[in-house]
Amino acid sequence: MTSRIATYKMLLEGIRFRGRHGVSKAERGLPQDFVANVEIELPLSALPRSDSLRQVYDYGRLSQLVVDEGTTTSCKLLETLAERLISRILAESPAVSVSVRIKKFGPPTPVSVDAASIELFGVRGDKGT
């Protein structure tokens, strides 16, 4: 029986960075801890044909891209940060779709909340963005 690869995904979990994101000036005034999870779907044509790092999209590049965007920009909303990450990942990688989940610890809420997360999914422009 022969197998046929149907989907090629790369998942990075727990990408940690300190950023200045939040609605209030106080939230944006001091760096806070964030964690991002990213899943990208790659075209099957990007699947390596040999056991060589040169033939794949390096997940080190993907994680660095997330950290760079999370630490060099300042957004009021997690949704805005996630949208920026999706746009940048689609622009700088061969990904055909991207899912980003961002977690913020200790968000300012009227009751105690450990963390708040949002998740957005985006596709390359020819698929609806």
Q: Report the candidate in 109, 111, 108, 113 with the shortest Cα–Cα distance to residue 29.
A: 108
CA distances from 102 to 21, 61, 81, 105, 120 (A): 11, 18, 8, 10, 9
Characterise 14 by phi-psi region: left (phi > 0), alpha (psi -120 to 50), beta (else): left
Alpha carbons 68 and 71: distance in angstroms, whole number: 5
Domains of the chain (ranges; CATH) run: 8-127 (3.30.1130.10)
- 66-100 pLDDT tens trace: 999 999 999 999 999 999 999 999 999 999 999 99
Alpha carbons 43 and 68: distance in angstroms, whole number: 25
Indicate the pTM of the whole model: 0.89
- 26-48 pLDDT tens trace: 889 999 999 999 999 999 998 88
